[in-house]
Amino acid sequence: MKKVFNRGFSLVEMLTVVGILGILFVIVSAFQTNVWRENTAEQSALEAEGELRGTIRQFMRDVRGAAPSNTGSYPVELASTTALTLYGDSDGDADRERIRYFVSGTTLVRGITNPSGTPASYSDSNENKKTMVHYLAVSNTRFEYFDGSYVGTSSPLTQPVDNYRVRLVRLTVTIDKDPSRSPLPLTMTGQSLIRSLKDNF
């Protein structure tokens, strides 16, 4: 009678199988991690782009609607490279709010101050601030101002800007969440004429 031997796996075979499975596990894990990181980065980029588009639209509406304040002040109060202060009816209540855009660290902030009292005044303590854009590349974010002679190619007014000459305002914003990783920085520009002053063109 022939003897049949049940032969199991040797130690070397077991170690080989475990090693191959371990390598496969590491490869699959690394792939999944990369997919998750790319997914997160793309989602973050889409959110940042949406935030930026919304901010540019709001900025253009605010500039277009700028008008003298409730106290009779000129529509543009401050025109610097990192901040813009103007007046306009941002909420449709017939009062003209003080609207302020300014760079704060790596964010772009919009502040609204409603007029109060009689005679009307604008108190800094009543300003309602909202962060509009995160992850600014500050060196590539700027406000530029143009006078009535602007025809699309002329240079912006030099700083310090005479507020009474401002007829068009341009905002360029660049965001870059992580300069060492993709996606690449995203830049958007929006500009608008001040409608209440356009008769000067």
Give tens-digit pLDDT for 39-94. 666 666 667 788 899 999 999 999 999 999 999 999 999 999 999 999 999 988 88
| Residue 41 confidence (pLDDT) | 64
The two three-digit tokens of residue 16, written as one number: 């080989």
CB 54 within 8 A of CB 140: no
Q: What is the DSSP secondary structure assignment for residue 116, as one 8-state letter? A: B
| Residue 7 confidence (pLDDT) | 65
CA–CA distance, 75 with 112 (Å, rounded to integer): 14
| Residue 113 confidence (pLDDT) | 96
Cα distance between the two ends of the chain: 113
| Residue 112 confidence (pLDDT) | 97
Q: Is the pTM of this model over 0.85?
A: no
Mean pLDDT of 99-119: 94
Within the chain, residue ranges assigned H as helices are 11-64
**Which segments within 91-197 are labelled E, that is strand?**
97-104, 107-113, 128-133, 142-146, 168-175, 186-193
Residue 201 confidence (pLDDT) above 60: no
Long-range (24+ apart) CB contacts under 8 A made by 45-54 are 45/177, 45/183, 45/186, 48/134, 48/135, 48/175, 48/177, 48/186, 49/186, 51/132, 51/133, 51/134, 52/133, 52/173, 52/175, 52/186, 52/188, 53/188, 54/132
| Residue 40 confidence (pLDDT) | 65
Using 50, 70 and 90 to split pLDDT, how confident is the model at 19?
confident
| Residue 191 confidence (pLDDT) | 95
> Percent of the chain having pLDDT more than 70?
87
Residue 154 confidence (pLDDT) above 90: no
Using 50, 70 and 90 to split pLDDT, how confident is the model at 124?
very high
Mean pLDDT of 138-165: 91
CB 103 within 8 A of CB 83: yes
CA–CA distance, 85 with 99 (Å, rounded to integer): 6
Question: Residue 171: what residue type?
Answer: L
